[in-house]
Amino acid sequence: MGREELLGLSELFLQEAVYRSRATQAAGTALAQLAADTQRQCGLGDGPAIVLDLSERGRELATQLFPSGLSPHVPALVREWVERQDVLDRERNHFLKAFRQRHGFDRAKYTAEQLVQFEEGLERVNAQVVAERRAVAEKLLG
């Protein structure tokens, strides 16, 4: 398997770790909001939930990436990535909230300039996520 293919699998592995953690985070946030009878605007709760046990898909990817078993550095890198992804997702949500408060929620009513600002803002956040995930994927592979 070539380096690019391994990097792609490594990125999928990191995404899977985020999905697994987010499922727990979403459940915890929903329960906390019900108990407090409140709703947070962000939807991500107070902080990331870190779940290091792997889903079935995560185990499949880990087997492909680490046929001899996980290195000791993998759990720490996964934890760091889940925490960082949470920060980046919050930045995206805060950008969206601020933009919508200034210009409204209906994109069909945005001017051409506002649409460009909206798309460029999202692209900036998304490009940062991609670049940082790639860097962590490289670290996973050693």
Question: What does the pLDDT look like over 91-118, one tens digit per residue?
Answer: 999 999 999 999 999 999 999 999 999 9
- Each residue's pLDDT, cut to its tens digit, for the chain (142 residues) gives 899 999 999 999 999 999 888 866 644 444 444 555 655 555 556 666 666 678 899 889 999 999 999 888 999 999 999 999 999 999 999 999 999 999 999 999 999 999 999 999 999 999 999 999 999 999 999 8
CA distance 55 to 126: 25
The CA radius of gyration of the chain, in Å to the nearest whole number, is 18
pTM attached to this predicted model: 0.77
Q: What is the pLDDT of residue 55?
A: 85
Chain centre to alpha carbon of residue 114: 26
Q: What is the pLDDT of residue 66?
A: 93
Q: What length is written for the chain?
A: 142
With vertex at residue 134, the alpha carbon angle to CA 115 and CA 47, rounded to the nearest 5 degrees, is: 75
CA distance 13 to 136: 11
With vertex at residue 97, the alpha carbon angle to CA 132 and CA 46, rounded to the nearest 5 degrees, is: 65
DSSP element (H, E) containing 101: helix 74-103
Q: What is the pLDDT of residue 40?
A: 54
Closest CA to 125 of 87, 91, 102: 91
Q: What is the pLDDT of residue 20?
A: 84
